[in-house]
Amino acid sequence: MEIIAPGVAWVATSFVNVYFIGEPGGPWALVDTGLPRFAWKIKAAAEERFGRDSKPEAIFLTHGHFDHSGSAQTLADHWRVPVYAHRLELPYLTGRSGYPPPDPTVGGAIAMLSRVLPHSGYDLEGRMRVLEPAGGAASEGPLPGMAGWRWIFTPGHSPGHVVFFREEDRTLIAGDAVATLDMESYLELAIKQQEVSTAGAPFICDWDLYEESLGTVAGLEPVTLACGHGMPMSGGDVAGDLDRFERHFSRPPHGRYVAEPARTDERGVDSLPPKPTDPVPYIAGALALGVAVALAVLPKRKR
């Protein structure tokens, strides 16, 4: 566990980050829950920071994709606390709908991996609560029990994606609104070089909304940027890095949702654009067939 801002700590669950907000001895909360089967690591980190018998006020989810809510059920049941998310995420967190399927045809390292990643969602019906707006603004509101923090609606990566922001010191927990490493490059994933980048391009289901949300996030001018993927960035010119990324952003040249978004509402997925042809399975099948033929023929030639 590392401290990245006053009252904000983080721990990684494989390639996904989770965050603890709050000081020891006071109210605290967990932001996102990482991958499935990492509850043990998150519980151990919580005990180290807040004490063995402490429990959070709540679990707050930036969104419900499997790598951010994978341990939510286990942790919520262990601590007996509610789980909060935006109302447009509820269909995917209460068993009513699966997410729009990822789009591997956008290309890149994570796109290749997305062919085998789940998008079915979870059923946390008994634990789920809605992040309520305040002050007449439907796009933001306070975090229950966590003074100074507010949630801000940033859809595009998922239908109900939100970020969490503390104005006092301009700390931003960004989920998958952006990442701090290039997830589309095999080399960058290996060396983990810090840079503001797109988070999980194959999972973005509405590129128009995603671009609008980038503008929202850049407009917050954070001093500390804590994302779901990549090491947190603090100090220096974080706001400038984010602004430059937003101004020079360009969507992929092709992909299922690039020209036409997935249509979703409070019930979940309503309609999807046509599924594009994915050449990789055909190439893999041809290679497998070639290897099988070679293995069948070579022994006969030796005999």
Whether the model pTM is above 0.85? yes
The string of pLDDT tens digits covering residues 84-98 is 999 999 999 999 999
Q: Residue 298: what pLDDT?
A: 54
Q: What tens digit of pLDDT does each residue of 11-63 get?
A: 999 999 999 999 999 999 999 999 999 999 999 999 999 999 999 999 999 99
Beta-strand runs (E) in 224-282: 224-227, 233-234, 263-265, 268-271
Question: What six digits make up the tokens of 236?
Answer: 């220096």
What's the Cα-to-Cα distance from 82 to each of 68, 142, 241, rounded to whole Å?
16, 16, 35
Mean pLDDT of the chain: 91
Neighbours of 110 (CB within 10 A): 26
Q: Tell me which residue range forms the domain holding 219.
A: 2-299
Instruction: Quote the number of domains for the chain.
Output: 1
Q: In this structure, what token pair is assigned to residue 238?
A: 């974080």
254, pLDDT greater than 90? yes
What CATH number is associated with residue 232?
A: 3.60.15.10
277-298 pLDDT per residue, tens: 985 553 333 333 334 434 455 5
